[in-house]
Amino acid sequence: MFSIKTTVLILIAGLAGISGATSLSSNAAPRVEKMASGPVELIITADPSQVHLDRDILLSIKTIAPSNINVRLPPLDNRLTGFTLSGAFDREPVAQDGAIARDHCFRLTPLVAAEYRLAPIAITYTDTSRPAAPENWFATRALVFEVASIGSEHPGASGRDAASCRDIRGPVWIYPTFKMVAGWMAILALIAAAIWALYRISRRIHRAVQLRRMSPRERALEELADLMVRDLIAKNQVKEFFLELTLIVRRYIERAHSIRAPEQTTEEFLLAAARNPQFRSAVLGKLRVFLQTADLVKFAAYRPEPAVVDRAFGTARDYVETDEQAQTGGQPPPAPRRYGGQAPDDG
């Protein structure tokens, strides 16, 4: 047999448990808004009733109307503030007391915003039993959602979880969206590309300045060395090799002797050089063979042997190395400076 004191304690504990369960269920209860106009009844349900940034809100808009009343809902995309519409679906219509209940469900994902709101929406309905019946409409009330505090209980959370949440202090980190991360990555990629482009431009400008400070002989020997580094013959680019080789020699002649060799044909250049006392007959003979061989490769699809290629390159290098010495009366010119190992710019 229980004593009276034990019975009273059991009753008090039971009442406390019922009160706690009622409190938790009230916290977890969804928000329900009801309104009606004419033959149409509208029930809007939001679960949960408050905004939690880590979960979606299931919004249900149920219309109850006779079977002859056609009810239409407008799109919700432009009626939401602080939410993004993540999905929508309709439940099967249900007959209810001589009327048809249609339930339209929407999944709302909260964003970081100052306000969370569903603006008034216009519900239109038409009596299909009357062919010329006008279209009627009514507006719903605006729904403003409160934001659940960090320490508040989530629907369905235990008392222990709620107590632990109340101990949280300081800001809460909210992970950025994929769109935000992708945008920042694109901006960083553009900044890196701009820095790389500026670096390349500065290197080219520095390279051009260094080349212009060289003498014609130093610059030509630098360009010949860079041509060998590119190894066009091994890449089966014989025509490109001879084109670059002859341009190096022609640019050297233009810089050293003021003859516009790059713009002239072989015959025009040889004719102008023959009139220039700086060109000896032996040098002109070697240049004639060199340029005519290059023309055969460039314009007649001639495939020279490796010995012909080596001889053409040697002729170009020997001419550049000995030409300045001949002009200075036999004094050896200074050794050329080697810069960078990059392909030179034209000009």
Q: How is the chain split among helix, strand and coil, in percent rounded to 5? A: 45, 20, 35
Quote the CA–CA distance of 9 and 299 in Å, as a whole number.
Answer: 113
Per-residue model confidence (pLDDT) at position 304: 83
Please give the distance of CA 52 from its chain centroid, rounded to a whole number.
31
pLDDT for 105: 94
CB 259 within 8 A of CB 272: yes
CATH entry, 28-166, from 3.20.19, 1.25.40, 2.70.98, 2.60.40: 2.60.40
Q: By three-state DSSP, how is residue 86 classified?
A: strand
Contact 172, 147 (CB under 8 A): no
pLDDT value of position 27: 57
**What's the half-sphere exposure (Cβ side, CA atoms, 13 Å) at 70?**
9
The rounded mean pLDDT for the chain is 79
Q: How far apart are CA 283 and CA 151, in angstroms?
A: 95
Structure-block tokens of residue 287? 């240049």
pLDDT < 70 regions, the chain: 1-28, 150-172, 211, 324-347
The Cα–Cα gap between 179 and 126 comes to 42
Is the dihedral angle over the CA atoms 228, 231, 237, 238 positive or is it negative? positive
Asked if residues 223 and 248 have their Cβ atoms less than 8 Å apart, the reply is: yes
Q: What is the pLDDT of residue 97?
A: 80
Report residue 126: phi and psi, to 5°: -135, 140
> So what's the pLDDT on residue 47?
92
What is the reported pTM? 0.39
State residue 103's pLDDT score: 92
Report the pLDDT value the prediction gives residue 345, as an integer from 0 to 100. Answer: 44
pLDDT value at position 110? 92
Q: What pLDDT was estimated at residue 327?
A: 56
Q: CB count, 10 Å around CB of 220?
A: 27
Output the CA–CA distances (angstroms, integers) from residue 328 to 60, 252, 322, in the order listed: 98, 16, 10
| CB within 8 Å of 16: residues ≥ 6 apart | none
- Report the distance separating Cα 158 and Cα 167, nearest Å: 15
Alpha-carbon span 166 to 253, nearest angstrom: 87
* Alpha-carbon dihedral sign for residues 301, 302, 307, 308: negative
Q: What is the DSSP string of 301-315?
A: -----HHHHHHHHHH
Q: Residue with structure tokens 């507006």?
A: 139
Burial 133-162 (b: 16+ CB within 10 A, else e): eeeeebebeebebebbeeeebbbeeeeeee
Distance CA 216, CA 42 (A): 91
